[in-house]
């Protein structure tokens, strides 16, 4: 606890010449987890330069050899599993068991990424297939890396969502400048300690730390960056998209995922999925269920079952693996409270919750939420769930689609035809039928539309997003 964590450039762990450090406070206890360096722009420059230089050799290293480094990374991560999970718990307040699962999922993700990349092949084409073409022209197409990838990750999955950028970048021959979320940076640094132990050549991966508001713009606009893979809030994402040079961007942003419960739904199944979807890790998941649309005729029954299910949700410390834990910081808890207060002022009906102890907000269920309330539209990133009663399924679809977001949606119906029809009309990257909204398994395509992002993640898609096709044409004379 309370160590001074260094940043990592060109294979060296260093303290910043600024002599400035940022204290990382635990969200759930009055303690400092550690300090990270607030680096300068010239140190950020050095990191990008180191990545640029290292990229030439890294690209030339065979994919199997690159894979071997990543396999060694997995081995080190497995050895450090408990240590990293403890850091995740202390730093971002995630239940210990879930933190362990995050590290295990990351190991699986890296392994799958290596294997997927090794089995991706290029293609060849004959000119004769096009009118007037001839067999004397042969195109050979294969994928090449983009160069230096800037990976910026959010606080809520500080290891998994960082590795989901770093692994596909590295296996496909890119080098990386990794900027973790400040709250989450120590978990990110520990994960990179494991990569360092794996003997990765210097400069191939560099970690820069400091507030996004201080070094973020500099990194994004830097001409040495060839691609940005970003996960975080929609406002930050929009700012990045405006500032970035003409380089590929992949963005995973916020959401307001609806669950639509229709008359014939299996309510017991829906209730279990909705409660776990909305309240796991206090709702601090991009794909948390953030509003429920329910047909009037079954609304009372649904609300009564949800209320009962909510009694089983545990509240307290991540060290005791509780589901509802203190939110990441006071600002976030104040924001969630503001959404609850606004809804109550506008006559939403409180079913349970609206109790607060510091940053801990008790699971809150609000019924009769209407379109004039902020809670119908804004992403709380906290444990509050609005119930919006609708007269028809079409009303639910309309209101779902009026959102600025379009990440995922859940539909609960036993009529598969109806579920498919609704799924077809919903503006979202993925629609889950009879299940909660969630990212993963990590090889499924993961897409945010509208304000929820751009580009596609998921192992194969992530590799594709960090490479481009290169075509060589042989002309037989
Ligand atoms: P955030 O405040 O947007 O921060 C995300 C990252 O951006 C952090 O590393 C942050 O650094 C950095 N950043 C901030 N300002 C920047 C700037 N001007 N330039 C460059 N980088 C900058 O988001 P968060 O609070 O960590 O995460 C919660 C949000 O992420 C929610 O909206 C959630 O829905 C979304 N999210 C989306 C997905 C998805 O897959 N769609 C997954 C997880 C989370 P600092 O920490 O130093 O400020």
Q: State the Cα–Cα distance between residues 377 and 404, nearest whole angstrom.
A: 8
pLDDT at 419 over 80: yes
For residue 6, give both structure tokens: 């260094």
Which is nearest to 84 in space by CA: 203, 208, 180, 168? 180
- 65 has catalytic annotation: no
* Predicted model pTM: 0.97
- Going by C-alpha positions, the residue among 200, 191, 151, 203 that lies closest to residue 46 is 203
pLDDT at 90: 98
Q: Is the pLDDT of residue 6 over 90?
A: yes
pLDDT category of residue 2 using cuts at 50, 70 and 90:
low
Q: Which atom of ligand 1 is nearest to the CA of 252?
A: 41
**Degrees, nearest 5: CA angle 69-74-78:** 145
Q: What percent of the chain is modeled with pLDDT above 90?
A: 99
At 433, list the tokens.
């039928």
With a 6 Å cutoff on the Cβ, whether 70 touches ligand 1 is: no
Q: What mean pLDDT, rounded, does the chain reach?
A: 97
Alpha helices in 5-95 (DSSP H): 41-60, 63-79, 81-92
For residue 216 and ligand 1, the question of a CB distance below 6 A is answered with: yes
What are 21-40's pLDDT values in tens digits?
999 999 999 899 999 999 99
User: Hey, how many other C-beta atoms are within 10 angstroms of the C-beta on 158?
Assistant: 29
Residues making up the chain, counted from first to last: 477
Is residue 286 within 6 Å of ligand 1 at its C-beta? yes
Angle of CA points 128, 129, 132, to nearest 5°: 55
Whether the CB-CB separation of 112 and 163 falls below 8 Å is answered with no
Q: How far is the CA of 154 from the centre of ligand 1 (A)?
A: 4
Q: How confident is the model over 288-294, as a mean pLDDT?
A: 98
The pLDDT of 148-175, averaged and rounded, is 98
Q: How many CB atoms are closer than 10 A to CB 97?
A: 12
Condensed to tens digits (0 to 9), the pLDDT of residues 256-267 reads 999 999 999 999
pLDDT, one tens digit per residue, over 189-198 is 999 999 999 9
Per the annotation, the verdict on 311 as an active-site residue is: no
The conformation of residue 214, written as its DSSP 8-state character, comes to I
Q: Is 39 in the pocket of ligand 1 (CB under 6 A)?
A: no
Distance CA 113, CA 176 (A): 16
156 three-state secondary structure: coil
Is the pLDDT at 108 greater than 60, yes or no? Answer: yes
Question: Which pLDDT value is given to residue 125?
Answer: 97
Per-residue pLDDT reduced to its tens digit, 68-82:
999 999 999 999 999
Of 250, 215, 247, nearest to 232 by C-alpha is 250
pLDDT bracket for residue 1 (50, 70, 90): low
- pLDDT tens figures, 134-145: 999 999 999 999
């Amino acid at each position: 606890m309370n160590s001074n964590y260094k940043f990592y450039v060109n294979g060296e762990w260093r303290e910043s010449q600024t002599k400035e450090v940022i204290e990382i406070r635990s969200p759930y206890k009055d303690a400092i987890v550690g300090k990270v360096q607030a680096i300068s722009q010239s140190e950020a420059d050095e990191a990008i330069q180191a990545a640029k230089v290292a990229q030439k050799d890294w690209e030339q290293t065979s994919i199997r050899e690159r894979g071997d480094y990543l396999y060694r990374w997995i081995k080190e991560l497995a050895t450090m599993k408990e240590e990293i999970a403890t850091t995740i718990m202390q730093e971002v307040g995630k239940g210990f068991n879930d933190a362990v699962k995050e590290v295990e999922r990351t190991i699986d993700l890296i392994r799958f990424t290596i294997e997927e990349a090794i089995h991706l092949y290029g293609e060849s084409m004959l000119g004769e297939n096009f009118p007037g073409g001839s067999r004397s022209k042969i195109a050979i197409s294969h994928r090449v890396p983009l160069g230096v990838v800037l990976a910026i990750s959010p606080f809520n999955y500080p290891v998994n969502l960082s590795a989901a950028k770093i692994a596909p970048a590295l296996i496909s021959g890119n080098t990386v400048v990794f900027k973790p979320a400040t709250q989450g940076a120590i978990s990110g640094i520990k994960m990179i300690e494991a990569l360092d132990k794996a003997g990765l050549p210097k400069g191939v991966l560099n970690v820069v730390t400091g507030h996004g508001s201080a070094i973020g713009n500099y990194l994004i606009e830097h001409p040495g960056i060839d691609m940005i893979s970003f996960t975080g809030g929609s406002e930050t994402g929009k700012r990045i998209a405006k500032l970035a040079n003409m380089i590929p961007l992949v963005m995973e942003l916020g959401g307001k995922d609806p669950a639509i419960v229709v008359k014939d739904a299996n309510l017991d199944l829906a209730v279990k999925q909705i409660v776990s979807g909305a309240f796991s890790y206090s709702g601090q998941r991009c794909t948390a269920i953030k509003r429920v649309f329910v047909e009037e005729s079954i609304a009372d029954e649904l609300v009564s079952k949800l209320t009962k299910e909510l009694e089983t949700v545990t509240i307290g410390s991540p060290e005791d693996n509780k589901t509802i834990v203190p939110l990441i910081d006071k600002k976030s808890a104040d924001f969630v409270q503001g959404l609850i207060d606004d809804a109550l002022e506008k006559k939403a009906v409180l079913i349970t919750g609206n109790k607060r102890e510091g940053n801990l907000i008790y699971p809150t269920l609000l019924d009769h939420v209407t379109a004039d309330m902020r809670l119908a539209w804004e992403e709380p990133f906290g444990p509050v769930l609005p119930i919006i009663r609708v007269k028809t399924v079409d009303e639910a679809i309309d209101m779902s689609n009026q959102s600025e977001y379009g990440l995922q949606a859940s539909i609960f119906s036993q009529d598969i035809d109806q579920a498919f029809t609704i799924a077809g009309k919903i503006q979202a990257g993925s629609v889950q039928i009879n299940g909660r909204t969630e990212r993963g398994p990590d090889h499924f395509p993961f897409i945010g539309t509208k304000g929820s992002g751009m580009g596609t993640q998921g192992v194969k898609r992530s590799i594709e997003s960090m490479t481009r096709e290169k075509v060589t044409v042989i002309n037989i004379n």
